[in-house]
A and B are shown apart, each in its own frame.
Chain A
């Protein structure tokens, strides 16, 4: 009986307590976390000034994305996974040599983050009530001269060719070449699953009986080309089984050729580039272009 009385009294008093606590919390305190506007603007200002293609951004508070409003176009590698990301994940999220922008509430979190991800500080700047730490994962020395997905806009030429007639693709942004009216008919940066991992790749949907060429000038000192190609899942499950013929040429001489079958597999080739080579031409040919969702990535270094 006594226990019952005590329990009833507890319920009453917790109920009475819940009334002001509910009102006060939802009126005054529920929105106190997150970044304030000044901090968001300051974050964006620092990113807009220092960001380069291949860098990535981690907001510590990953549910408040208002700072995105102030970012420049073209800055798209914002990841909401700081808590879960491992050092191994980083290599799929950023390019080698790319910087890591950490948008922190304060500096206290940095030792734990740097320890977990094995990062070293490059610079730091206060931003409103927060701080931006620009960090490195020590891959600067591995920075590739050309990364196809990162530098698709730097291709010297992108065009379709049939019987010697060229149809040039038009560069519409630093990451996209439009080759026809249909939206799918372009060559541009995308994110796709290759080898079971989401990776930055180049969308390169070929067209029936035409050859798609993507050409690069060879940077000074470059000696290696690595290319990976794959069909996306929609293409693999399509009734159209047409393979894509992939060809790599150095200064118009074919150095590699293979057939990328319509299966769930990433095809890879590693080719040495002789010293005197000036142009590299990667080309793709398909007989039937129905649902040939095709991507490639890799680098020249």
Chain B
């Protein structure tokens, strides 16, 4: 039976210290990354949500306690972007209400992005917790750093979006459920059920989780765990059924309902609308080895190969080692332990497998299938570090020349150091990172891989625009072609990143300047800009390792 380690005070101190460091690391680097397309929608929704909190305050002060929760009020504040649950957007909105409007401590955008940094904190804490409880303290300390030293993770951790929050909730669900299976503590069951409610409130990915848990438990019970015979099996099945499954119904669903004001009224219709929207979600085209993946069937290999190529090499090793570790444990341990390892394996791989199904839209970058990365990375760190310990004890430690723990610590420290150059290079555009297995970004561009997406990569261009543009100039933002989202453009002005007098336009003919965001399918826009402006001489180029991602052009006078 797996024995989970008990957390000591040192663990609490280390876990919080490391997570706080990650929080500060993300929070203070927020201005490195432009606003992605989705942030344009979510920040706008957050404003609406902040308005609601203000309305609550005003209503309560007048003694009107029911008005903020009436259908009319909810429809007014939550109609916009109602195709997504509001839990995370409410956090953005509450943060805006408190830190931006009330206290004036944070800017409009940072009030949303501080919530993203908070989820980075929670994710680091979760990884530490998982490492410390299931493996050892060394794994717990190393894994959060290894996780946030992946450029794609660093990038997504800054964004006021749902992707890192659902990564946190997804991984957390698998970890806490396994903890419950092993220890059967009621407080863990209750916590896990509340956690699922919040997870579903963050993003619909979480709907898969209880179903998977139930199926897994049933299969493992009937194949490995039953002790009775005949009809008594059913009695045993019911008796051994984990309490947490009942709580998923009794607690998770009400929690989910509470987090989403939009479905407080016309619940069935609105919930069906929500399911319909996501079951017919549009695909965002992606280039994959020179093929435009604009409509299905999509290649099964896509998420696997992309994960293999978009994580730095040491983390790729951890991923593979983590998977191997789970498989080995599933084969060799007792049934309840086997189930735990199998659940963790599924938690790590199901998101990848789901996107690999040819009929499932592949959406954008790795953000739709990285939700299980913390699980496999942490177990991989454990396998590699324990193998290193074994090796040094056996072959080097006997000579008593080195202390094994010091050598292993040094090895992982060197690993972290080796990741610094690439993280510095991709600090502004982590979504564009490819590892050396494909030849870095040059190799990826040569192989016609998706180079970047989400129209955020303009911070290298705006300084020049602000400097060069005459008063009241108009800039083409490429809004209709995966360029800069219109709301994001307005928020960049609001934040003072783009000069306030500069107007945006989605018509090149009306523009004095043009942002060009490279995506293979849109490269003809560059020719259109050149023809319209009678010049292809870029005023500024955003690039890494000579590979260009976006550019600023000026109309020839």
- Interface on A for B, CB 8 Å cutoff? 4, 7-9, 11-12, 14-16, 18-23, 25-27, 29-35, 61-66, 68-69, 71-81, 83, 173-176, 183-184, 189-191, 198, 200, 203
What are the 3 closest A-B residue pairs judged by CB atoms, nearest first? A76-B530, A34-B546, A63-B445
Contact with A along B519-557 (1 / 0, CB 8 A): 000011011101111111110010101111001000010
Minimal Cβ-Cβ distance residue in B for A30: B440
Given contacts A9-B391, A11-B321, A63-B442, contact A26 B530 (CB under 8 A): no
B548, A65: Cβ atoms closer than 8 Å: yes
A115 to B16, CA, bound (A): 64
A189 to B241, CA, bound (A): 73
Any chain A CB within 8 A of the CB of B472?
no
Contact with A along B315-331 (1 / 0, CB 8 A): 01110110010001000
A6 to B324, CA, bound (A): 12
Q: Which residues of B contact A30 (CB under 8 A)?
A: 422, 425, 436, 440-442, 545
Q: A76 is contacted by which of B445, B524, B535, B546 (Cβ under 8 Å)?
A: B535
A-B contact pairs, 12 of them (CB 8 A): A4-B328, A11-B317, A11-B383, A11-B384, A14-B317, A23-B421, A30-B436, A65-B541, A76-B531, A184-B509, A190-B531, A191-B524
Inter-chain CB contacts under 8 Å: number: 165
B535, A15: Cβ atoms closer than 8 Å: no
Any chain A CB within 8 A of the CB of B469?
no
B422, A63: Cβ atoms closer than 8 Å: no
A105 to B359, CA, bound (A): 40
Any chain A CB within 8 A of the CB of B462?
no
A68, B320: Cβ atoms closer than 8 Å: no
Besides the contacts A66-B543, A68-B536, what 12 more A-B pairs have beta carbons closer than 8 Å?
A: A11-B387, A15-B321, A22-B435, A26-B440, A33-B446, A33-B546, A63-B548, A71-B537, A75-B536, A76-B533, A81-B523, A83-B290
A8, B383: Cβ atoms closer than 8 Å: yes
Q: B535 is contacted by which of A62, A73, A189 (Cβ under 8 Å)?
A: A73
Contact with A along B400-422 (1 / 0, CB 8 A): 00000000000100110111011
Closest CB-CB distance, B542 to chain A, in whole Å?
11
B384, A12: Cβ atoms closer than 8 Å: yes
Q: Which residues of A contact B534 (CB under 8 A)?
A: 73-74, 76, 173-176, 189
Any chain A CB within 8 A of the CB of B216?
no
Minimal Cβ-Cβ distance residue in A for B422: A26
Q: A203 is contacted by which of B390, B411, B509 (Cβ under 8 Å)?
A: B509
Minimal Cβ-Cβ distance residue in B for A35: B546
Q: Which residues of A contact B391 (CB under 8 A)?
A: 9, 12
Minimal Cβ-Cβ distance residue in B for A23: B418
A9, B440: Cβ atoms closer than 8 Å: no
A19, B314: Cβ atoms closer than 8 Å: yes
Q: A69 is contacted by which of B422, B435, B537 (Cβ under 8 Å)?
A: B537
B545, A18: Cβ atoms closer than 8 Å: no
Q: Which residues of B contact A20 (CB under 8 A)?
A: 418
Closest CB-CB distance, B373 to chain A, in whole Å?
17
Minimal Cβ-Cβ distance residue in B for A81: B523
Closest CB-CB distance, B239 to chain A, in whole Å?
36
Minimal Cβ-Cβ distance residue in A for B384: A15
Given contacts A30-B440, A191-B527, contact A11 B324 (CB under 8 A): yes
Within 8 A of A (CB), among B434-461: 435-436, 439-442, 445-446, 448, 451
A22, B546: Cβ atoms closer than 8 Å: no
Any chain A CB within 8 A of the CB of B490?
no
Minimal Cβ-Cβ distance residue in A for B520: A80
A26 to B425, CA, bound (A): 9
B387, A12: Cβ atoms closer than 8 Å: yes
Given contacts A31-B546, A74-B534, contact A11 B320 (CB under 8 A): yes
B532, A190: Cβ atoms closer than 8 Å: yes
Q: B421 is contacted by which of A21, A26, A69 (Cβ under 8 Å)?
A: A26
Minimal Cβ-Cβ distance residue in A for B535: A73
B523, A8: Cβ atoms closer than 8 Å: no
A183, B509: Cβ atoms closer than 8 Å: yes
B531, A63: Cβ atoms closer than 8 Å: no
Minimal Cβ-Cβ distance residue in A for B415: A19
Any chain A CB within 8 A of the CB of B427?
no
Q: Which residues of B contact A29 (CB under 8 A)?
A: 436, 440
A21, B436: Cβ atoms closer than 8 Å: yes
A63, B547: Cβ atoms closer than 8 Å: yes
Q: Which residues of A contact B440 (CB under 8 A)?
A: 25-26, 29-30
